Chains A and B, each alone.
Chain A
Amino acid sequence: MSIVSHLSASGDVMKIGIQGRFDFGSHQDFRESYDKNDSNVKEYNVDMAKTTYLDSSALGMLLLLRDHAGSGAVIKIINCNKDVFKIFEISNFDQMFEISAAK
């Protein structure tokens, strides 16, 4: 599991890539990935292209990110594989986040 984040040059788009299992063990890393100087961020892109697994604590972490982002920023969860997408579907998280499957 590794989490890499990248702030766009303009400082308004934060990209967070999650590789491998996204579960309780990722808590610290995920938090650190966005908990930086990001007051200008208007959009978070959580890239799940390389995410193989997602559990309910991961869903909880996304809620924390949502809380952190506040109403001034959107969160897009992109490139979800079939299994990951299904978890979002069951939990109906698409009611709270923009979620898209891998192309």
Chain B
Amino acid sequence: MSEAPQLKILITEDNIADCLIINKLVKDQGYQTIVAHNGLEAIDLFVKEKPDIILMDALMPKMDGFEAAKRIKLLIGDDFVPIIFLTSLNDDVSLVSCLEAGGDDFLSKPYNSIVIAAKIQAFKRMVILHRTVQTQRDEITRRNEYLLQEQKIAKKVFDNVAHLGCLGASNIKHLLSPMSVFNGDVLLASRKPSGGMIVFLGDFTGHGLPAAIGAMPVAEIFYDLVAKGFGIEKIIYEINQKLNTILPIGFFCCASIVDINYSWERIKLWNGGLLDILLKKNNGSVRPFKSLHLPLGILSTKEFNAECVEYDMKVGERVYLFSDGIVDLKDSEEKEFSLNGFADYLLKSDDSDEVFLHILEQEKLSFERNMSNIDDVTFVEIKMISEDVISNKHRLVQNSDLRGARDWSMSFEMFNQTIRDFNPIPLMLHITMEVPELRIFNNDVCMVLSELITNGIDHGLLGLDSQLKNSANGFQQYYNLRNERLNNLSGESLHISLRHLPDATGGVLVIRVVDTGEGFDFRAIDLDIPKASQMSGRGIPLLTRLCESIVYEGNGNAAEAVYRWEKTQDNNLL
């Protein structure tokens, strides 16, 4: 037989003559038969032989058909084994009790071979259909379990790569749906080695694995470049290039990125394809920052624009980033929970906890109303705080067993075009981190490097006055002037030299930056901790706390910082 395998039919009949007749009828149809003579035997054979269809006499000794049917139905479980009652009872009540006992149909005696053949044929079709469905169901269940297992593993890998970074910081609050991995949202935050932090919120096209896969290189590039001291534009540039290379056409990543600078109380923002970034100001107003760029991954490096918007952000002010899902939230009046609505809410409320509760409530409502339609919602609030307090404790470190570079010096000189286009800090940091014991002081070293280099360029070469930054529109003016003068640089250079030498107690890193500018009156600088109004000074008071010494020479166009670390006396200290 080409189709289903031969069906096995259990015939249960106490009357020998009837039994012979029906057995012959069924066999003649080409089925295999087994025979029981009462209910108990039927149950026994059912268990042993696993028949496909059961023909069951109603009235039998020892155990009747009704009882046997009930028990067999319990044993059947998920399978479908039709029970057809054979009965000479004709009244409605008896027929109903056949069905109530779990029977699927009945055949009235005397037997009619055509009717028997037709009924068995009909049930055979149902048995086969049921089995097909069951096989498919089991296959789907198996595959689904497999998929869930795979997702679990994938999520673990994902969480290790796209970890939450410094999202736990006290000035960050965020909302990230637990399913976010597979619905395309990615939220990353990292402290910059020079102080402050960068937060990245991305929303990939589509859902599921493709979105999650795209998020991994983004996270890797992000954490790697932030740690190495690269600026936000470079990071955005690199991420776009990577996504442009790996994502198929039609896939991209909408993103909002914010770089927060505590010491200057400034933010830099880039928004490509996400909802307005909102800044809640201390005066109660809300400043939106529109998406000015195409999402990441669409444009080639040549066409791409990583230009950021800069803005003042005072201590206590809060900035909000959103993923697309937030517009899908509906408010109680059924109208779209628009971002304008949220901005209005932000205007009303000064309490950030209240704002969060509001969002959570909206999400819950939306979820209850329409489970299938909810997009992933990611939401993050970052508060401007004053510069992290830097402790002046001795920098103690265990002597490392790692091989590395401990006694060396290098110098690097940049001329006009390089000064304009190249950020030397990652390169310098890379070299200093070859001293194994210095690695944990990455942040300190980066801060000293950035301050000295920025001073050398901004004040030494470009002659910019940091007082400018204190006025209302000062920052913008400062930056315009900075760009203008950078473009007009000629005949200038900035010379950076680094020297690291171990000594009896640990090691000393000397950072020297010399510019070809006119210099400045370094005696006028107050080396005390800056008051708020002096925050945008040359950052020197800050450096005096990090370094053993800061010395200016010449006209003030040469600065030398000495950074010292010490070995612990006993190895258990760290």
Interface residues of A (CB under 8 A from B): 24, 56-57, 59-61, 63-64, 67, 90-93, 95-96
Residues of B within 8 A of A (CB): 203, 205-206, 249-252, 254, 272-275, 290-295, 298, 324
With A56-B324, A90-B273, A91-B273 already in contact, the answer to whether A63 and B292 are too (CB < 8 A) is: no
Asked if A91 meets B205 with Cβ closer than 8 Å, knowing A60-B250, A63-B298, the reply is no
Residues A92 and B291 in contact, CB atoms below 8 Å apart: yes
Which of B249, B295, B324 is in CB contact (< 8 Å) with A67? B249
Q: Across the interface, which residues of A come within 8 angstroms of B295, CB to CB?
A: 91
Give the docked Cα–Cα distance between A61 and B206 (Å). 11
- A91 contact from B206, B249, B291, Cβ within 8 A: B291
| Contacts A56-B205, A90-B274, A92-B272 given; does A63 touch B250 at CB 8 Å | yes
Residue of B nearest to A83 (CB): B336
Q: In the docked arrangement, what's the CA distance between A24 and B372, Å?
A: 14
> How many residue pairs at the A-B interface have CB separations less than 8 Å?
47
CA distance A24 to B203 in the complex (A): 15
Given A63-B250, A93-B294, 13 additional A-B pairs, CB 8 A: A56-B205, A57-B206, A57-B250, A61-B250, A63-B249, A63-B298, A67-B250, A90-B274, A91-B291, A92-B293, A92-B294, A95-B294, A96-B298
Query: Is there an interface contact between A60 and B252, defined as CB atoms closer than 8 Å?
Result: yes
**Is there contact, CB below 8 Å, between B275 and A90?**
yes
Task: Using A90-B291, A96-B294 as known contacts, say yes or no to A60 and B251 having CB atoms under 8 A apart.
Answer: yes
A70 CB to closest chain B CB (Å) equals 12
Quick one: which of B203, B254, B274, B298 has the most chain A CB within 10 A? B298
> In the complex, are the beta carbons of B250 and A64 less than 8 A apart?
yes
Closest CB of chain B to A67's CB: distance in Å?
5
Q: Contact at B254–A56, with CB atoms within 8 Å?
A: yes
Interface of A is mostly: helix
Residue contact B250 to A92, C-beta cutoff 8 Å: no
Most chain A CB within 10 A, of B205, B250, B272, is at B250
| Residue of A92, A95, A96 with highest tally of chain B CB at under 10 A | A92
Residue of B with least CB distance to A96: B294
State the Cβ distance, A6 to closest chain B Cβ, in Å: 23
Give the CA-CA distance A24 to B211 in the complex, in Å: 14
Can you give 25 A-B contacts (C-beta < 8 A)? A56-B205, A56-B206, A56-B324, A57-B250, A59-B205, A60-B206, A60-B249, A60-B251, A60-B252, A61-B250, A63-B250, A63-B298, A64-B249, A64-B250, A90-B273, A90-B275, A90-B290, A91-B254, A91-B273, A91-B291, A91-B295, A92-B273, A92-B292, A93-B294, A96-B294
CB distance from A92 to the nearest CB of B (A): 5
Least CB distance, A93 to chain B, in whole angstroms: 7
Name the distance in Å between A84's Cβ and chain B's nearest Cβ.
13
In Å, the complex CA distance between A64 and B537 comes to 51
Bound complex: CA A57 to CA B251 (Å): 8
3 interchain residue pairs of minimum CB distance: A60-B250, A91-B273, A56-B205
Task: Choose among A60, A90, A92, A93 the residue with the greatest number of B CB atoms under 10 Å from its CB.
Answer: A90
